[in-house]
Chains A and B, each alone.
Chain A
Amino acid sequence: MAAEASAIDPMAQFHIDPVIGSGWSVFGYNLAFTNSAAFMVIVLAVLWVFMLGGMRRQLVPGRWQVAVESMTSFVSNMIDANIGPKGKHFTPYVFSLFMFILLANFIGLFPLAIIPGLHAFTVTSHITVTGVLAVMSFSIVLIVGFAKHGLKFFSLFAPHGTPWYLLILIFPIELVSFLVRPFSLGLRLFVAMTAGHILLDVFASFIIQGLHANNAIGPVVSILSFAMVIAVSALELLIAAIQAYVFALLTSLYLNDAINLH
């Protein structure tokens, strides 16, 4: 694939390797504890420590409690603005989704590779993970929609006051745009994370290749690439937060469709 064999493979960082139990198999499926699972456990542990450290209910909150409360109030404000008072039940789900994606994105950017033999793994850079999260949101929308409105839920696909001859056209379009939601939701997060990490890896490989080049322009390329890596890292921190926010925002918008049935 690569032009030279010595080139650094930017896709290597997404490989899923077993950490322990590479031989464990159940019904022919390999159930090894992979680096993906390990980083999910790390994300969960960090999230737990963060939440348990801040849920103290002190009248005058300390710094930690303020940090936790600002996250919870951010999500509950988003739910209030998008769904209204009926959406209060879904705040825990959207909050867990938002915090898990946010921490998975941030921990994936953690420069763990300065310790030899380790490298950070971004859980959300695999469509299996983001796809499951998206399908989970989508099924909650379907279950809530059908449980609350029964077959009237299908009126979601026929906006009020549409003439019948337009309905023939609009119903399939709305149906397709509804059914494509889980794909677009999962794809967005997965591709944004993958693209960012490939970009970082490509510029990082420019640094090393520039140092190994035996000409005058090599070090210049290295320094420029190093500046670029710093800039892209800052951009990636922004993207990590924005993508977590967009995922939670779109989930709450889809829940709004199911609850309030526009």
Chain B
Amino acid sequence: MDLASAKFIGAGLAAIGVGLAALGVGNVFGSFLEGALRNPGAADGQQGRLFIGFAAAELLGLIAFVVAILILFVVKG
């Protein structure tokens, strides 16, 4: 296998991480909704924590995206 095709396969594999982060972000919002529907009175007070959890889960997916972009555009093949 030549280096150029290995590069594209590697970038594709790195992009899987973005999908896995989608699971995490979905879990954050899903769990929040589940709790918020049980106790709507407490939901507004927890929005800050919701977005902190969202930011932490999303960051890992974004890093996977950065790795894919680095493999595609920075690595010389």
Q: Which positions in A face B, CB cutoff 8 Å?
A: 1, 11, 78, 81-82, 184, 187-188, 191-192, 194-195, 242, 245-246, 249-250, 253
CB 8 Å contact bits of B26-70 with A (1 = contact, 0 = none): 000000000000000000000010011011001100110110010
* Residues of chain B having any CB pair with chain A under 8 Å: 48, 51-52, 54-55, 58-59, 62-63, 65-66, 69, 73
| A78 and B62 contacting across the interface, CB-CB below 8 Å | no
Interface pairs (28), CB distance under 8 Å: A1-B73, A11-B73, A81-B48, A82-B48, A184-B59, A187-B62, A187-B63, A188-B58, A188-B59, A188-B62, A191-B63, A191-B65, A191-B66, A192-B58, A192-B62, A194-B69, A195-B62, A195-B65, A242-B54, A245-B51, A246-B51, A246-B54, A246-B55, A249-B51, A249-B52, A249-B55, A250-B55, A253-B52
| In the complex, chain A residues whose CB is within 8 Å of the CB of B48 | 78, 81-82, 249
Min distance, Cβ A131 to any Cβ of chain B, angstroms: 13
A-B contacts at CB below 8 angstroms, number: 36
A136 to B59, CA, bound (A): 20
- In whole Å, how far is A222's beta carbon from the nearest beta carbon of chain B? 25
Cβ-closest chain A residue relative to B62: A191
Chain B residue at minimal CB-CB distance from A184: B59
| In the complex, chain B residues whose CB is within 8 Å of the CB of A184 | 59
Closest B residue to A82 by beta carbon equals: B48
In the assembled complex, the CB of A254 is this many whole angstroms from the nearest CB of chain B, namely 11
Distance in angstroms between the alpha carbons of A71 and B54 in the assembled complex: 22
The answer to whether B65 touches A242, judged by C-beta atoms less than 8 angstroms apart, is no
**How far does the Cβ of A253 sit from chain B's closest Cβ, in whole Å?**
7
Q: Which residues on B sit within 8 Å (CB–CB) of A78?
A: 48
**Nearest CB on A from B61, distance (A):** 9
Please, how many angstroms separate the alpha-carbon atoms of A107 and B55 in the complex?
23
A194 to B73, CA, bound (A): 14
Q: Cβ of A191: which chain B residues have Cβ within 8 Å of it? A: 62-63, 65-66
Chain B residues lying within 8 Å of A1, measured Cβ to Cβ, are: 73
